[in-house]
Amino acid sequence: MLFIADYGAGNLRSVQKAFDFLGVRAMVSSDPCKLAGCSKVVLPGVGAFGQAIETLNRSGFSEAILEHVDKGGQLLGICLGMQLLLSDSEEMGAYRGLNLVPGRVLHFRSETDKIPQIGWNSVDQQKESVLFRGVADHAFFYFVHSFYCEPHSTDAIAATTWYAGKNFCSAIEKNGIFAVQFHPEKSSDAGLQVLKNFAEC
């Protein structure tokens, strides 16, 4: 059973519907106690980092997710869910994240490109990754975000994307921890393949 964490950060049902379409059993729940019985956890999210991490901490999801990973369970962060996996964020202040992937969440700064990035952009694979099996390099995925992840180590970076004058980390794979900045549930066949790969790995 795949667990989708409901911590009030949105886009849960679209993720669940994508897994339903793939024939993958996925449970959406706001009860972190139910997470313990699942081998795979999805942390989606749309919204502000500070409010999201406070909710995770207050609800018990932070502790449950850290324990899940510590026991060897697999985790997929999507969009804000990816950012929450890092050490800290500068979004509207300074906040500590889950620190599962050491690194920072930074704001795009550009005089030429619109912020937030909204729309399709190519994803350039940096290493062989479970997430991108059967997905062409430079495939396009759908993004909606103003902040980006900067892991301290390039070893965690599975893919990058060019925007606002920089190659930012758009996918992570590290010791059973997976994350994508784009929305696979809104990214047509390529996005569905990413979700399928996570469900089957």
pLDDT in tens, 100-159: 999 999 999 988 899 999 999 999 999 999 999 999 999 999 999 999 999 999 999 999
State the pTM of this model. Answer: 0.96
- Domain 2-200 of CATH type 3.40.50.880: yes
The answer to whether residues 7 and 35 touch, using CB atoms and an 8 Å cutoff, is no
Catalytic one of 79, 91, 149, 173: 79
At 8, is the pLDDT very low, low, confident or very high (cuts 50, 70, 90)? confident
Instruction: Give catalytic status of residue 107 as yes or no.
Output: no
Instruction: Give catalytic status of residue 185 as yes or no.
Output: yes
Catalytic one of 68, 149, 169, 183: 183
Domain boundaries, the chain: 2-200
Q: What is the C-alpha separation between 26 and 127, in angstroms, rounded?
A: 28
Q: Residue 30's pLDDT is what?
A: 95
Q: Residue 176's pLDDT is what?
A: 96
133 DSSP 8-state letter: T
Per cent of the chain over pLDDT 90 is: 90
Mapped onto helix, strand or coil, the DSSP state of residue 103 is: strand
Q: Count the residues in the chain.
A: 201
Cβ neighbours for 189, distance < 8 A, ≥ 6 positions apart: none
Q: Residue 9's pLDDT is what?
A: 79
Mean pLDDT of the 16-31 span: 95
Mapped onto helix, strand or coil, the DSSP state of residue 115 is: coil
Catalytic one of 38, 68, 149, 185: 185
Instruction: Give catalytic status of residue 79 as yes or no.
Output: yes
